[in-house]
Structure 1
Amino acid sequence: MKYDVIVIGSGPGGYIAAVRASQLGKKAAIIEKYATLGGTCLNVGCIPSKALLDSSHHYYDAVKHFEEHGILVDKPKIDFPKMVERKAKVVEQTTGGIKYLMDKNKIDVYEGLGSFVDATHVKVTKNDGTDETIEGTDIIIATGSKPSTLPFITLDKERIITSTEALKLPEIPKHLLVIGGGVIGLELGSVYKRLGADVSVIEYMDKIVPGMDTDVSKELQKVLKKQGVKFFTSHGVSSVERKGDEVTVKATNKKGVEVEFKGDYCLVSVGRRAYTDGLGLENVGIKVNERGQVEINDHLQTNVSNIYAIGDVVKGAMLAHKAEEEGVVAAEIIAGQKPHIDYNLIPGIVYTWPEVAAVGKTEQDLKDAGVEYKAGKFSMRALGRSRASGDIDGFVKVLADKNTDEVLGVHIVGARAADLIMEAAVAMEYRASAEDLARICHGHPTYSEAVKEAAKSAWDGMPLNA
């Protein structure tokens, strides 16, 4: 069978690329090695983790906050198998939606491992051992990523686990050790902390979510610590050992002292690696960098001009929405259009509670680049909407150019930060000034008023409600 576009991998980048290609009149096929479509995000990442985050949030609110709202209930009980069952149903519905999109857009789906025969032919090796070769004028690699580990750690996937296993544990841990204070570790740590586990986060760097603005990192750590999560930053893990149902983690702190942690589960959350296993890149001479990522140019092309690569398998933030945007761009370039993508305006989000979201530059980025800037900050505690809901933790921080007032970065810790950040992204897409944001009338009472107030603080230093 011959196609205009073949996409290898059906995650958010892959399936969106196939849909967009089909919309633009291309005959498209998608190859997926697993039985369900949707890749990591829909099956063992974004969607199931948010389902558990929401379920655990409801339970935590019932235990900790209902009474202050005048809602008196007997102490809630956790039906953990039911919670996991609900998560599975959400995943099933979502992946089923992708199958619907494939049918709607007349995209052929091949189940099996896709590998390059040459620059225009891909072999699909099916689970029954048979194979089939299909031909494509253009091919998009969208094979995503897998969890990374450390060289000295043996993942048994029972007690020493990755995020994949953490989403389907048979029980709530008594003490979950989390190696890595990044997004995934904090989100899954939050799930189990809310459900009653002790949670200890062991982080090599001197702060959690190290890529985010320092103020954000400090605020998030303070809030999660208040919720009961224990943090051990500047700790380099040296060994992870399991004996029966107990896992021991040894780490050295910044003073050179070895510290020992014991728990019944250990989540290894030290990032992810590009996944190209079995893809046969060597058969077509596609170059990869020192991190194993497929090398691409500004048009998402590999060194083989008709082969493109997108998402986690290439450089940049490993985010589903980044992969989606690249999927659209790749399909449109193949169709002869001239799309663009601004990587500076791809938001980063942490779905703890409060949520964390950021877009653009951090203060450190601006300092390192020698950019003169001004900063405005507004506390969520000062909002009527926050006091009404009880979500008073966090702030909005706006960074603007000192001379032109253009908004350069926005950083939020607070309720619904994941949704609020898009106001900043839109503003920055149109190169708005802090004054522009400050002069837009925001609904009252809303969380979004904090964006207006922080922008006014950055613009003229005089927020109205602080």
Structure 2
Amino acid sequence: MNSFDVVVIGSGPGGYVSAIRCAQLGFKTAIIEKYSTLGGTCLNVGCIPSKALLSSTHLVEETKHFATHGIEIAGDVKVDLAKMIERKQAVVDQTCAGVKYLMDKNKITVFEGVGSFENATTINITKKDGAVETVEAKHTIIATGSKPSTLPFITLDKERIITSTEALKLPEVPKHLIIIGGGVIGLELGQVYLRLGAQVSVVEFADRILPTMDGAVSKELTKVLKKQGMKFYTSHKVQAVVREGDVVKVSAEDKKGEIVTLEGDYTLVAVGRRPYTDGLNAEKAGVKLNERGQVEVNDHLQTSAANIYAIGDVVRGAMLAHKSEEEGVMVAEFLAGQRPHIDYNLIPGVVYTWPEIAAVGQTEEQLKAAGVEYKLGSFPFKALGRARASADTDGFVKILADKNTDEILGIHMVGARAADLIAEAVVAMEYRASAEDIARMSHAHPTFAEAIKEAALAATDNRAIHV
């Protein structure tokens, strides 16, 4: 029987990064993956393919505004959806191959099959042909991720009533795509097909899209996406989803009890994701799950079995690839006797629509609920020279700082390149910077990053220069 210091079950961003860090620290390491490619949901059917399609369709959208830049295109722009999806798959294949290379480079043994516990130190690996291989693990890291959730009354046929996985490889551009759920996944994929000419309707149970993010951010993105042509039905509870041939009917009830019925050719169910532990046999190893199906862990991400840890989407907290990576590194370093730490308040959240959304720290709603006294500084992109030069004037940067100490408590932004700009906010908050600190730092001109400086100036005695 093969024996390892650490066995990681699952090869998503959390799993493979954890395996690499374990190997770097001198542990004999193995990774178990049920699919034939490494990388998990993120690389195969999540972050990477969705960003590839968003990038491709962003180019399509930009052609509509070429004339304002003095660029003329002869004839209509034609989109080859099959070619676009083929490129997306090539990006995925290259990225997954990169992970395989990293496994080889770091001398990590890779097993293909379903990993399940026989006991706390013994793991069975069931391969596609039914053969079972058994390995022994001194420590195990569960990194099995998540799967798309649905509603109890919805039958996912994966043809017309689909999840994000199917939405990444549709055979045609929908005439009318109905999206159930106004979160990150629904909005990103909705914008992909909106740009390609689909009518897109979003049905959301909460009173606004992106309900967990700052209210001002949600309001701004709603305004922009409506301008682009997306329709929203917030405060609507879905009652039924029925397919009749190539038509899908979605019935939803509003606050007044009135039923709205939408008809489309595709319905994307994007109501979140659930922890995935199917086939793990966690109970055989003494690993407890909670009522939400998550693996219960302590502050060191240790499960109820002392030698077994769990990270990423399968445990509490935001389901984010970079959060999973940080947890994977933390467990590896903890096993090596180090004292790593994660500040979950400083894990940024990003929405890759255009304009992009990014945030870190507390929202204004959270500060109000906690009774924290704060001050606010905001700066619109339309007042930014670089934004006007690039014709990307939608959005703003908003900084929340402690009223008494000026320490930054949260930074929220909507706008071009927000996904990259948020890194400055994370660094500032990691070092407990004040709004005054950022306000006094030189920012290159003209750049989008100047909006952060201006928002910091606005939060510091309302000193913004360019508004």
Measured against the shorter chain, the TM-score band is: over 0.9
Distance (whole Å) between structure 2 residues aligned to residue 403 and residue 137 of structure 1: 50
Deviations 1:74-99, CA, capped at 9 Å, x for gaps = 22100110000000000000000000
Residue of structure 2 in register with 1:101 after alignment:
102
Structure 2 Cα separation of the partners of residues 293 and 350 of structure 1:
24
CA distance in 2, matches of 1:284, 1:104: 31
Where in structure 2 are the equivalents of 1:266-277 lying within 5 Å? 266-277=267-278
Equivalent AA in structure 1 for residue 41 of structure 2? T
* Conservation of the 8 A alpha-carbon contact between 2:12 and 2:143: yes
Q: Are 1:461 and 2:462 matched, yes or no?
A: yes
Question: After superposition, what is the alpha-carbon deviation per residue over 1:219-253, rounded to whole angstroms, capped at 9, x for unaligned?
Answer: 00000000000001000000000011000000001
Equivalent residue, structure 1, for 2:120: 119
User: 3-state DSSP class of the match of 1:405?
Assistant: coil
Q: What letter corresponds to residue 93 of structure 2 in structure 1?
A: E
Cross-structure match for 2:450: 449
**Matches of 1:402 and 1:456, distance apart in 2:** 14
**Equivalent in the alignment of 1:69:** 69
| In 1, Cα distance between equivalents of 2:76 and 2:215 | 38
Tell me the secondary structure at the aligned position of residue 205 of structure 1.
Answer: coil
Q: CA deviation at 1:254?
A: 1.0
**CA deviation digits over 1:133-179, x for unaligned, max 9?**
00111000000000000000000000000000000111110000000
The answer to whether structure 1 residue 21 and structure 2 residue 22 are counterparts is yes
- 1:166-315 superposed matches below 5 A: 166-315=167-316
| Matched residue SS, 2:171 | coil
RMSD between superposed Cα atoms in Å: 0.4
- TM-score normalised by the chain length of structure 1: 0.99
CA distance in 2, matches of 1:362, 1:400: 11
Q: Which amino acid aligns with 1:351?
A: Y
The aligned runs of 1:358-369 (5 Å cut-off) are 358-369=359-370
| 2:164 alignment partner AA | S
**Residue equivalent to 2:423:** 422
In structure 2, what is the equivalent of residue 329 of structure 1?
A: 330
2:158 counterpart residue number? 157
Separation of aligned partners in 2, 1:389 and 1:152:
46
Shift of 1:296: 0.2
Mean Cα displacement is larger for which, 278-287 or 77-86?
278-287
Residue 282 of structure 1: how far off its partner (Å): 1.4
For residues 296-322 of structure 1, the C-alpha deviation after alignment (integer angstroms, 9 at most, x for no partner) is: 000000011110000000000000000
The alignment's TM-score, normalised by the length of structure 2, stands at 0.99
Q: Please state whether the residue corresponding to 2:200 is helix, strand or coil.
A: strand
Which residue of 2 is the match for residue 396 of structure 1?
Answer: 397
Letter of the structure 2 residue corresponding to residue 197 of structure 1: A
Tell me, what secondary structure is at the counterpart of 1:359? Answer: strand
1:388-443 alpha-carbon deviations (Å, 9 max, x no partner): 00000000000000000000000000000000011000000000000001110000
Q: Give 1:66's aligned amino acid.
A: F
Give the conservation status (yes or no) of the 8 Å contact 2:6–2:140.
Answer: yes
In the other structure, the counterpart of 1:431 is 432
Alpha-carbon offset, residue 335 of structure 1 = 1.1
- Please, which runs of 5 or more residues in structure 2 have no aligned partner? none
- Structure 1 match to 2:384: 383
Output the CA distance in 2 between the equivalents of 1:462 and 1:439: 11
Q: Percent identity?
A: 70
User: What is the CA-CA distance between 1:285 and the residue it aligns to?
Assistant: 2.1
For residues 459 and 164 of structure 1, the distance between their equivalents in structure 2, rounded to whole angstroms, comes to 45
Contact 2:120 2:286 in 1 (8 A): no
**Separation in 1 of the partners of 2:339 and 2:118?**
30
Report the count of equivalent residues: 465
**Whole-Å separation in 1 of the counterparts to 2:40 and 2:336:** 25
CA–CA separation in structure 1 for the residues paired with 2:331 and 2:136: 18
Q: Which amino acid aligns with 1:349?
A: V
Task: Report the residue type matching 2:284 in the other structure.
Answer: N
